[in-house]
A and B are shown apart, each in its own frame.
Chain A
Amino acid sequence: DSGVTQTPKHLITATGQRVTLRCSPRSGDLSVYWYQQSLDQGLQFLIQYYNGEERAKGNILERFSAQQFPDLHSELNLSSLELGDSALYFCASSVGWGLANYGYTFGSGTRLTVV
């Protein structure tokens, strides 16, 4: 157990629908990161939050949005889902806003399947 909790572990939904993925960071970590891993692809950076504020943004689609709440948990909202959104979505956390020597700690991911 890495200490980063992601729910749900699996999600199957239809095209056009909206889903919310949840992440609880490791205790004491203020930064949360979201990554997408599509089939045979590396992890693609989506967005970073630090202590409730957006810190960095990657190639996140306009249909996707995220936020970090006062209790530091984060949610990634995916709307108007398309078949190509099927992927593993990872959340990670770290203490500070910059990159630690060890990078950061990942959760076990949410596998999203859009049918």
Chain B
Amino acid sequence: DQQVKQNSPSLSVQEGRISILNCDYTNSMFDYFLWYKKYPAEGPTFLISISSIKDKNEDGRFTVFLNKSAKHLSLHIVPSQPGDSAVYFCAASSRLSGNTGKLIFGQGTTLQVKP
């Protein structure tokens, strides 16, 4: 049962344009969402997060949008840079109810930003 899904395995965009990565979830108990970025031969690194009480969170070139009714979140990168080329993982947590650190991850989307 895949509770967090990233339906696009890969995405290719031109440098300077917008990258939009999507993530869907099924569990209505999820109340905290994170995006991680992973380069080859490295572990995932935290990028940005959002609580279910918000619908948008912005950090520099990165913005995460949350649509609770659709159980959908997206990560926007503007403008995209070649150094953004990596695998992006969406993750979700039942932070308030579970009180553990357990995260449920999507399968990841490989982003390629072309110069």
Contacts and interface: CB of A to CB of B under 8 A. Distances in A.
Interface residues of B, number: 28
B101 A106 contact: no
A43 B90 CA distance: 10
Contact of A90 (B9, B43, B108): B43
Interface stretch (B13-21, B34-42, B61-69, B73-81): B34-42
Contacts of A24: none
Interface in B82-115: 89, 91, 93, 95, 98-108
Interface of A: 2, 4, 31, 33, 35, 40-45, 48, 55-56, 58, 90, 92, 94, 97-109
7 contacts: A43-B44, A43-B91, A44-B105, A90-B44, A97-B99, A103-B49, A108-B42
